[in-house]
């Protein structure tokens, strides 16, 4: 397994990375969430979560990965994580999902920025400073670029890590999370995260 992570790190560096600044030449990546209708050649037809059928072109350098379930108690100081969260009514943030990055992907998209999982959600890619178990789930303190943020992780929050996948896993009905660039002809994917073994990409 250790051998797959450097390759994934090279191919999946923008899976959970910050938007590109306006002054940069490349447009910010877009995300396609849904289930596979068909996969043929260099095209993935996806039924999005909004119910639309979209043809996603696969770039020459595209990579595929999956996710595997881990436990919230596996989160430890020093881990690099990506946490999608929403503001809580009583203050602070509550996690929607947590991705524990493999060590080879430490530093991927570091920062905290808007995310399109749900309205008002954000994504924080940061290093865990400490993790405290409480009565109602767990709270982690994460640090990024000299800043600190506390995020509550309620019981039942999906917690996953990156795992291996192949093109053979791109079967009809499989749930996918795709990072793509916007083009006049439609989305062009560089990374595809596909659900397998009953685990779906929660991001």
Rg, the chain, Cα only: 17
Q: Which H/E stretch holds residue 10?
A: helix 4-11
Which comes out higher in pLDDT, residue 28 or 127?
127
92-144 pLDDT, tens digit each: 899 999 999 999 999 999 999 999 999 999 999 999 999 888 767 899 999 99
Q: What is the pTM of this model?
A: 0.86
Q: Provide the residue count of the chain.
A: 203
Looking at residue 10, what is its pLDDT? 39
* 199 DSSP 8-state letter: B
C-alpha to C-alpha distance for 182 and 25, rounded to whole angstroms: 13
Neighbours of 4 (CB within 10 A): 15
C-alpha to C-alpha distance for 105 and 3, rounded to whole angstroms: 13
CA-based nearest residue to 192, from 103, 28, 171:
171
| Position 79 pLDDT exceeds 60 | yes
pLDDT interval class at 195 (50, 70, 90): very high
| Position 13 pLDDT exceeds 80 | no
| Position 3 pLDDT exceeds 70 | no
C-alpha to C-alpha distance for 63 and 60, rounded to whole angstroms: 9
| Position 161 pLDDT exceeds 50 | yes
pLDDT interval class at 90 (50, 70, 90): confident
* Terminal Cα-to-Cα distance of the chain (whole angstroms): 22
Q: How far is CA 195 from CA 3, 128, 149, 163, 186, in A?
A: 21, 26, 30, 10, 23
């Amino acid at each position: 397994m250790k051998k797959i992570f450097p390759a994934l790190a090279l191919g999946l560096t923008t899976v959970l990375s910050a938007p590109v600044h306006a002054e940069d030449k490349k447009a910010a990546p877009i995300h396609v969430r849904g289930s596979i209708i068909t996969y043929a050649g260099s095209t993935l037809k996806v039924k999005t979560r909004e119910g639309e059928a979209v043809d996603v072109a696969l770039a020459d350098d595209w990579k595929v990965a999956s996710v595997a379930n881990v436990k919230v108690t596996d989160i430890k100081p020093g881990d690099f994580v990506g946490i999608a969260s929403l503001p809580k009514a009583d203050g602070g943030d509550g996690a929607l999902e947590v991705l524990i990055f493999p060590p080879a992907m430490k530093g991927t998209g570091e920062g905290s920025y808007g995310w399109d999982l749900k309205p008002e959600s954000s994504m924080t890619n940061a290093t865990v400073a400490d993790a405290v178990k409480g009565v109602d789930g767990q709270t982690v303190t994460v640090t990024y670029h000299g800043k600190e943020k506390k995020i509550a992780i309620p019981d039942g929050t999906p917690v996953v890590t990156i795992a291996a996948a192949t093109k053979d896993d791109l079967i009809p009905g499989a749930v996918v999370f795709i990072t793509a660039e916007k083009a006049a002809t439609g989305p062009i994917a560089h990374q595809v995260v596909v659900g397998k073994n009953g685990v779906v990409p929660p991001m």
